[in-house]
């Protein structure tokens, strides 16, 4: 039995904010040169005021359904028929439509007509998609009756960005990516193995302070009548996260390769969480992996947190840069602090 990704989709807001636009419009003391040289980011896409997390997620899933039907990846003929075959929806996000509940995945479930699907959100920040894929593999694996699931990463980070903090606001963008996962009869190990073959999921909660939205939770709730002087925005110690991230990426790649008994040369492409190109390059140098083995689209989208890996997967699948049988590695890190990776035979 294998857990295979059989279709992908993405949704990215049309509004594109370049580094120059950002410096001008938001009155931030920064420059295209600084942002590019420190992060590899050239632009980010920003949702309009009426767009929430579920809107981007629904669009990504609709695009996925169209592609799945077009390519013959599924037997169903219409998106409505396909939606009814989904058994589970897992949505990873840090920017839910509503604080606390309902889960955004339930809103998506209703809007796409996945009437037979259970739905839940997970919070693992930028590692959300990596955690989500492994979680769903477990859910499909232990139940005889569940066959198909959607794993979605969707973010409207522009809503929790402090646009006055030049060290963090340059980093983030909005977007969503989705994959349709199916339990198939293919082998998951040995000759001809397919699908998700292993994952590493890890956390270091001692670093929670380094990347946090401080307001709004039960630690620091809204109190009637107060003037909110610290809004619910991302508060980040960039350097601490940077050092953690380089080690997390390095360790995850090494451990995935070692645990699987393969060489890094066997891996066709590594899809890192798109947080900062310098983090990826530094990790690559440490282990001696050529830059071209990493797929980077951070120049266009910046850091879309849980959406960054599924957006990249959809781009690669759409433009034929990954083919059946390719060995793909994902690797990521984020608030929590969390980190991990997946090894997938496409």
Q: Which of 15, 36, 84, 166 binds ligand UT7 (CB under 6 A)?
A: 166
Of 82 and 92, nearer to ligand UT7 (C-beta) is 92
Burial 77-115 (b: 16+ CB within 10 A, else e): eebeebbebbbbbbbbbbbbbeeeeebbbbbbbeebbbe
Of 126 and 178, the one with the shorter C-beta distance to ligand UT7 is 126
Which residue out of 126, 210, 233, 342 is catalytically annotated?
A: 126
Site size toward ligand UT7, by CB under 6 A: 20
128 or 195, CB closer to ligand UT7? 128
Region 182-201 residues binding ligand UT7, contact defined as CB under 6 A: none
CA–CA dist 80, 177 (Å, integer): 20
Q: Looking at residues 247 to 276 of the shown chain, list those that interact with ligand UT7 (rule: CB under 6 A).
A: 275-276
**For ligand UT7, which residue of 151, 156, 197, 245 counts as binding (CB under 6 A)?**
245
Which residue of this chain has its Cβ atom nearest to ligand UT7 in the complex?
238
**Residue 303 and residue 107: Cα distance in Å, rounded?**
24
The verdict on whether 210 is a catalytic residue reads no
| Contact code string over 222-241 relative to ligand UT7, x by CB under 6 A | --------------x-xx-x
- Give the separation between CA 104 and CA 98, rounded to whole angstroms: 7
Instruction: Determine the Cα–Cα distance for residues 251 and 286; give it in Å rounded to an integer.
Output: 10
Confirm if 344 and 129 have CB atoms less than 8 A apart. Answer: no
Residue (195 or 284) nearer to ligand UT7, CB: 284
State the nearest-atom distance from the C-beta of 243 to ligand UT7, in Å. 9
Annotated catalytic residue 303: yes
Q: How far is the CB of 170 from ligand UT7 (least distance, A)?
A: 4
Q: Which of 1, 115, 167, 287 binds ligand UT7 (CB under 6 A)?
A: 167
126, 140, 200, 327: which one binds ligand UT7 (CB under 6 A): 126
Name which of 76 and 165 has its Cβ closer to ligand UT7: 165
Q: Is 334 in the site for ligand UT7 (CB under 6 A)?
A: yes
Hey, which residues between 27 and 66 contact ligand UT7 (CB under 6 A)?
Answer: 30, 34-35, 38-39
Residue 338 CB, shortest distance to ligand UT7, in Å, is 10
With respect to ligand UT7, which residue has the nearer C-beta, 31 or 71?
A: 31
Q: How far is the CB of 334 from ligand UT7 (least distance, A)?
A: 5
222 CB-side CA count, 13 A: 8
β-strand 148-156 against 174-184: which pairing, if any? antiparallel
Query: Contacting ligand UT7 (CB under 6 A), which of 93, 161, 250, 303?
Result: 303
Check 19, 63, 303, 342 and give the catalytic one. 303
Would you say 163 or 242 has its CB closer to ligand UT7? 242
How many CA atoms are closer than 13 Å to the CA of 87, on its beta-carbon side? 15
Catalytic residues: 126, 273, 303
Residues that bind ligand UT7 (CB under 6 A): 30, 34-35, 38-39, 126, 166-167, 170-171, 236, 238-239, 241-242, 245, 275-276, 303, 334
């Amino acid at each position: 039995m294998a857990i295979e990704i059989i279709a992908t989709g993405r949704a990215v807001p049309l509004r594109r904010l370049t580094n120059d636009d950002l410096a001008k419009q938001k009155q931030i003391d920064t420059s295209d040169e600084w942002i590019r040289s420190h992060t590899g980011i050239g632009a980010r896409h920003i949702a309009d005021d009426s767009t929430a997390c579920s809107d981007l997620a629904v669009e990504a899933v609709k695009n996925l359904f169209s592609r799945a039907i077009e390519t013959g990846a599924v037997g169903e003929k219409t998106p409505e028929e396909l939606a009814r075959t989904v058994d589970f929806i897992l949505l990873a996000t840090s920017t839910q439509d509503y604080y606390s509940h309902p889960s955004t995945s339930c809103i998506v479930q209703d809007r796409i007509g996945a009437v037979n699907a259970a739905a839940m959100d997970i919070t693992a920040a930028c590692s959300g998609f990596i955690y989500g894929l492994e979680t769903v593999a477990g859910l499909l694996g232990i139940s005889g009756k569940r066959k198909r699931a959607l794993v979605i990463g969707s973010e409207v980070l522009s809503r929790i960005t402090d646009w006055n903090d030049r060290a963090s606001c340059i980093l983030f963008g909005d977007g969503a990516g989705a994959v349709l996962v199916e339990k198939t009869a293919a082998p998951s190990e040995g000759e001809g193995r397919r699908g998700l073959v292993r994952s590493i999921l890890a956390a270091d909660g001692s670093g929670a302070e380094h990347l946090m939205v401080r307001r709004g939770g039960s630690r620091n709730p809204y109190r009637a009548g107060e003037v909110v002087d610290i809004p619910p925005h991302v508060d980040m110690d960039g350097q601490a996260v940077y050092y953690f991230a380089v080690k997390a990426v390095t360790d995850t790649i090494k451990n995935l390769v070692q645990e699987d008994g393969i060489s890094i040369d066997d891996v066709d492409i590594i899809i890192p969480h798109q947080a900062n190109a310098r983090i990826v390059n530094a990790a690559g140098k440490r282990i001696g992996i050529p830059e071209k083995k990493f797929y980077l689209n951070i120049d266009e989208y910046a850091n879309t947190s849980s959406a960054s890996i599924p957006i990249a997967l959809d781009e690669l699948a759409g433009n034929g840069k990954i083919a059946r049988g390719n060995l793909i590695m994902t690797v990521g890190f984020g608030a929590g602090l969390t980190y991990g990776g997946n090894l997938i035979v496409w």
